[in-house]
A and B are shown apart, each in its own frame.
Chain A
C-alpha cells in the first residue's frame, strides 16, 4: 500500500501537477510570498527602539508615582430581580427554528446573560438530529450585523412606525377602493400562521396578489414528482439503506435539498470502521461537486447528455433483465430502444466498462439502489429517473415518514411577465416585499427594477438593506429570526416553533405583526396570535391530556411538535408522461448552481460565510467560471483570466478557475454573488449570474450554445489552496513516501484488513515520554465519513471568535480559520481522485512548536493539550515555522479593526464574541485549542458532582457540528472512549508519523469502493 501511495502522484492544483516552477519554489517557503511584505523595515517608523524604551521608561515612572494606592476595580452590577433560569457565567439554551427556502432546522440558541452567542442544532429534531448547515452556524453574525436596518424610513428619511403604518394603511385602502392590484412578493412561506395572516390580508384587501420567488429552486424535481405520483409530499431518501447510489449531476451532499439529513444518512452507509459495510457512490456530472469529490467512481458528462445517458442506461438494464419490456408502455420502449450504452459511450467518450459497471451494479442491487437526478436537470430527466427507480424497485428506499411538503409553488414566468407589464401600464397600486428580494432573485432580463421604478408605493419589509429596499419608498425593518416568533411546517407531521431569545436590538418589528396592524387598526400581539393559532391547529387536534398552557410551554421548550400527518395517496406511475427531450451540443454548456456557503445570496452579507473556502476549489470571496483544463487550453485562457460568457444574447463576465474533473466544454457558475446595496460585506463581491438566467423559465439552470470570449482582463481570485502547502519537496528525497493521505480499496481491505499497518517501523524516542496521569485529550477523524463540507470550520469560527480577514488578506495567506480542509488530487487533471482531510492543531506529545518558543507562550498541559498563553506571545512565529502541519495562525493585524474599516469592531458586533474565549489582538499566534473552554466546563461539572469525567463527555465545536459524526473527541487514556477505539483500529494512522511528534489527532484511512484493488 505504502509503495502505491508513494508512486501515486498527489497534487493540489493544476499548476503543481504541471510542476510549475513558481509553485515548486513557493512550496519551499514557510509563508506565501507577500505575506510579510507589509513589514519591510525600511518602511517602518524611524523612531528608534532605544528612544521608544526611554519614553516608555519615563512614562512608566511617571505613572507609578502619580497613581494612588489602589486601582479602581470597577463595579459589580447584579440584576434587580434575577430571572430564575439565568446564572451569570453559565449559558442558557433555548429551542428555536431557522427556516430558509422551504427547509427548516431545529436549533438550540446558546445565550449568555441574555445575549445569544451561538446557534447549535436541536438534538430533538427528528430530521436533522442536532445538526445544522454552516449558514445557520454563521447566522448569529446577522443578528449583530452593523448593516441591519434600524428604524423605519420613508424615502430614505427616518420616520416612526406610527406615521409609516398610517400612510401605508391609507395607501392600501385607496388601492383597494380603486380595485388596483397590490402585489406581495414573498419567498416560500413555511409558517402556517404566516399563511393565515396572509389569508386575512387577502380578505381585507381583495386586490392582493401574491408572488412567490425562489432563486435556485428545486422546481424540476418537485413538478416531476407531482406529475409522476400526483402527491403533495416528496419523500426523503434512505441513503443508508442504498448499496448503490448513482448521482446524476446531483450534489445531494453539497447543496441540494436538506443536505444535513442527506449527509448524515449517507455516512451511515459508509461506516466501514464499525459495520464493515460500504455503499457505492457513482457520480455522473459535468461540474466537480462535493458529491463528485466523494464518489467512488466518477464519470464526467456534459449535463446536456444526461437524458440520453439515463435512456441508454435503461436500455442496458433491460438487456440485463432488470425489468421486462412488458412493464413498459410503448412510448417508453421506443425511447429506450433508440439509445444503447455502446452508442452512448462512443458519443460521450466515456469508458464503456465503467458504464456497464453502473448498469450491472444497479441490476444486481434491485430495490437496494437509488438513482438521483440533480436540481438543475430538466423535469423530463427527473420523470425518467423516477420511472427507472420504480422499475428497479428502488421506491422502497423512499422515506415517507416526515416527507417534504411541496404544496407551495413559485410564480410562473407568465405571471411575473404580466406583473411587469401591469407595472409599466401603471396598473399596480402598491408592491409589498415581504422579506423577499425580487429585484435580485428574479432573472435580470425580466426588467423588474425598471418596472418597479414606475410604481410609486413600494413597501419593503426586510431585515437588511438589499437591491429591492434600495428602490422602495417605505422601508420597514424586520426582526432577526432570533428576535421573532414563528412556526414552521416543512415536513409532514412536524411543526417546529421559533421563539425570540433576545429583545429587539433596534426599532424593528415582526413581519406578521406589521401585516396585522394594516388589517386591524390597533396593534396585534403576534405572540398571542401565534398561540391562538397553535391552539386551534395543533392543541385541539392532538388530544393532549395536559392543559393548553403546559402544552404550549412544553412544545416551546422542545422546539418541535408532532402533528397529524397529511395522508399520502399511493398513485401508480403513469408512463405516458415520459416524453422525449432533445438538446443540442453546439458551443459550450453553462451550468448555473446554488453556492455552498450562503445559498441564494440572502446571507451574503456575512463575513464568516464569505470567507468559508469553497469545498472543492477553496476559493473564498468570489464566484468564478469553472472550466476543464483542456477547455482552457482550447480557449487559450489561464486561471484568473476574465472571460465573457454569452448565452441567448445575454452575457456576463467572470474570472476563470481551471477545475480538475470538469467535463469538457462545460462551464459551472455559482449564484448568490454580485449583490448591490446589500451591506459593506456583500457589496460587489463576486459577479451577478442572475443576468444570465432565463426569464421564460425560472427553473432552467443548464444553457447550451454558449460562446466564450477572452476579454484580456485579469481578475485575481483568492484561494486558500496554494499556500499552507505541506512541504512535499522533502518527500521526493525520501522515497516519495510521506503518507499524509492513506487510502485503500474495499477489495484490498477485505483481503488484508491490516494492510495499512504493514511496512510500519516502530518509532522510538531518546527522551522519556510525557506522563499523563489523568485524562489525555485526543481526536479522531474518520476520513470515510468526512465529506469536506466545511461545516466544522463555520462552527469553529463562531465558538472561538475567529475574525474575518477579507479577500486581500486571504490572497496573502492570512486567513485565520483554525481548521482547514486540505484537498488533494491524484490521478490526472481529467479524471482526478479527490481526497479531503481536515487539518487542525494535532496537539502533539512531542510538539516541535513548544521547544522553540522563546517565551514559553506555547506549552504542554498535563492533559495532553498544546496550549497557548496569548499574553506571553511576542510574535516571533518560530512555532509556526517549526510546525510540520502548518496549523498556526498569526494575527498580522488586529483583524477586527483591519477588515473593511473596522466594520466588525463596534459595540454591537462585539456581542457576538464567546465570552469564554479570549479575543486575540495583533501580533500573537493562535491555533486550535481543542475547545478548552468546553473541557473546563465538563471538568467543573464533574468536580461539582464529585464524579470522574466521562471519556466521551467533552464535545468540541467541530465535533458537534459534523453532520456525519466523522469527528470524535475524548480521553485516550480511557479504554472506553470512542477515540481510543478509533486509535486502535486497523485503519488508523497519524499524519507525518515518522517525525515522532506523536500527534493526538488520529485519522482513519479512506476506503474506496472501486471494484478493483487500485484506487
Chain B
C-alpha cells in the first residue's frame, strides 16, 4: 500500500509538478522578455538610411522630414520628394542614393519597414504630445545616435502610464498639467 503510494508520488505526481513548474517558468520567462514588447526590433530597411548621419552629425531637425508631427496624429515617414530636396544634388553617386533616385523616378513608393506600432484600438496623437513640449527622444530613444533605427522602449500601456500618472514630474513647466493629472487620477480612481 505504502509502496504503491510512494510509487505514485514519484512516478506521476513529481514529474507532473516539475513539468508544470518548468512550463510556467518557461512561459513567464518567454512572455516577459523585452523582445515580446518589441524592444530591440531593428529590421532591414529598403534603403540603408542613417539617422546618425542626418540627425546626429548634420543636425537636421526631426521636423524637416517628419512634417506631420506637430500637425496631426502621424509623424509621417517622409515622402520621397523630401529626400530629393537635397539628394537631387547631394551624393548622387552613392549606391543608396541611386536606389532612392530610382524609386523616385519610377514613381514607386518606398516600402519602409514599420518599427514603432501601438495597438490599433489605442489612439495616440503625435501633435498633442509634441506641442506640449515632449521631446521625440522621450519615447523613441536617442535616434540621433542610431545608424539603423531600433525600438528602444516597450510600447505597452505601462509606458503611457509611466508619464501620465505623474505628468508634473516630467513636465513641471506646463500650465495645465495639474488638469491632466486630475483627469488621469479620476480614471484610475474609477478602476
Contacts and interface: CB of A to CB of B under 8 A. Distances in A.
Interface of A: 61, 64, 69-71, 73-82, 87-90, 771, 773-774, 856, 859-862, 869-871, 918, 936, 939-940, 943-944, 946
Interface of B: 27, 30-31, 33, 35, 38, 40-41, 43, 68, 70-74, 76-81, 103-104, 107-115, 117, 121, 123, 125, 127-128, 131-132, 179, 182-183, 186-187, 190-191
Given A771-B186, A940-B128, A943-B128, A76 B114 contact: yes
Given A79-B109, A89-B68, 13 more contacts: A70-B35, A73-B41, A73-B117, A76-B112, A78-B78, A78-B109, A80-B103, A82-B81, A90-B73, A773-B182, A943-B127, A944-B71, A944-B131
Contacts of B74: 88-89
Contact of B80 (A61, A76, A78): A78
17 contacts: A61-B27, A71-B38, A75-B113, A78-B80, A80-B79, A80-B80, A80-B109, A82-B79, A87-B68, A88-B68, A89-B73, A89-B74, A773-B183, A861-B187, A862-B187, A943-B132, A944-B70
Nearest to A918: B121
Contacts of B128: 939-940, 943-944
State the main secondary structure of chain B at its contact with A: loop
Contacts of A870: 121
A929 to B, nearest CB: 13
A78 B112 contact: yes
B167 to A, nearest CB: 13
Contact of B79 (A78, A773, A859, A861): A78
Contacts of A88: 68, 72, 74, 76
State the main secondary structure of chain A at its contact with B: loop
A722 to B, nearest CB: 36
A87 B67 CA distance: 9
Contacts of A75: 111-114
B71 A78 contact: no
Given A70-B41, A89-B72, A943-B131, A79 B121 contact: no
A971 to B, nearest CB: 14
A933 to B, nearest CB: 9
Contact of B76 (A78, A771, A871): A78
Given A89-B68, A774-B183, A940-B127, A76 B35 contact: no
A936 B123 contact: yes
A944 B179 contact: no
Contacts of B40: 70
A660 to B, nearest CB: 46
B127 A944 contact: yes
A946 B132 CA distance: 9
A969 B108 CA distance: 45
Contacts of A774: 179, 183
Contacts of A771: 186
Nearest to B81: A81
B113 to A, nearest CB: 6
B36 to A, nearest CB: 8
Contacts of A869: 121
4 interchain residue pairs of minimum CB distance? A82-B79, A79-B79, A89-B73, A73-B114
B111 A77 contact: yes
Given A64-B30, A89-B73, A90-B71, A78 B114 contact: no
B127 A74 contact: no
A359 to B, nearest CB: 62
A81 B108 CA distance: 10
A77 B125 contact: no
A258 B186 CA distance: 49
A773 B80 contact: no
Contacts of B72: 87-90, 940
B77 A76 contact: yes
Nearest to A936: B123
B42 to A, nearest CB: 9
Contacts of B31: 64
Contacts of A861: 187
Contacts of B30: 64
B111 A80 contact: no
Contacts of A943: 127-128, 131-132
A904 B95 CA distance: 47
Contacts of A859: 190
A944 B68 CA distance: 12
A872 to B, nearest CB: 10
